[in-house]
Structure 1
C-alpha cells in the first residue's frame, strides 16, 4: 500500500461530496457490471467492501435481503448514509471496515467491490481475498483498475503515486488460490475490468 489507511481515508473524505459528480465513464460501467453479476436473491446478504458513497450497495438493495457497506472513509460513509435516507432505503447499513478486517459477522452470500482494491499491494490483495473467502460467500464480484495489457506510462488510467493495480493474471491467481473459480472477465478498458468468482462447495449449491 503506497499510502497508510489513514491517509487514504482522509483523501477520500476530502473528495466525498464531489465524488459522484466526478465519476468516470469506466467507473460507472464497472458499477453496472458489478451489479449485474452480483445478482443477489431476495434473501441474500451482500457485503460491499470499499463501498464509498454506496453506489453498489444502494443499487443492490432492491434485489437483496440485506446489504452491508464497509469503507475506511467516514466522509464517504456519511454520503452513503445520506443517500440511503433520501431514498428511503432501510435494508442497507454502512460502517467502518477494511478489506482485511471488514468488521462483519454472520453469513454472507455475495461480496462486491468496485474501484477500491487497487489501493492495496498485490500481497495485501491476496490477504484481502483470503479474508473474503473465509466469510463463505458463494460469489465475489470485483470491478477495479487492473492491467489487461502493459500500462501506457504516458496515459495511465490510475494515479501511480497512490494506486497499485495488479494484472488480470495476478488477480485471477488470487481468486483461484482462495477457492473461487473465475467465471467471468469483463474488459471495460485496457486498465479497467470486472472479475467474477464463484465459490465451489455446499453454500454455492444452495
Structure 2
C-alpha cells in the first residue's frame, strides 16, 4: 500500500474534503474514479443498468462515510472498491443473480476498467442522479416515521394500500393518508431544496 503517489495523495485530500461536505471535492472524486468503479460493478452484476444503480448507491455511501476513511489502513481506491464490491454483493444476494467468483477486485488489475465503462451512461448524468438521490434520502429522513415507513413499503416493496394497512395493522384510511401526506411533504422538501438560495440582503 502506497498512499504517497501523487494520484493517491490527491484522492486522500479529496476524501478529507468530502468528509466536510465539500460538493466540489465530491464531484472531482466522482470524475476521477467513477469509470473504474463502474467497471468493478459491471464485472459483478453483468448488467449495465444495475451497475449504474450500484455506482450511485456507492457514491451516496462515500458522501456519508468519507470521514471513516483512514489513509493508514488502505489506499483510497481500495476503500472505494470495497464499497462498490459490498453494494454489488448485496444486490446479487437480493436479486439472486449469477456472478463470476473470479471477478478481479484488485485496483491494479491489468484489465482496463475504462474500456468496460466506455458505453455506460454519461458520468455527469450519473453524478446528477446520485446527488438527486442523496437529496431524496435527506428529505425522506425528515419525514415522520409512519409516513416514511409507509412510503418505503409502498414504493420499494410494492405493497398496495390494503397490504400496507394489514402489514402496519392500521385502518385502510389511515394507511392511505400516511402515503398521501408522506408524498406531499416529500414533494415540498425536494422542491424547496431545488430552489436557488435567496441572497442575503435581497429582501
Task: Give the TM interval when normalised to the shorter protein.
Answer: under 0.3
Structure 1 or 2, whichever has the larger Rg, is: 2
> Going by fraction, where is helix more abundant, 1 or 2?
2
TM-score (norm 2): 0.24
TM-score (norm 1): 0.24
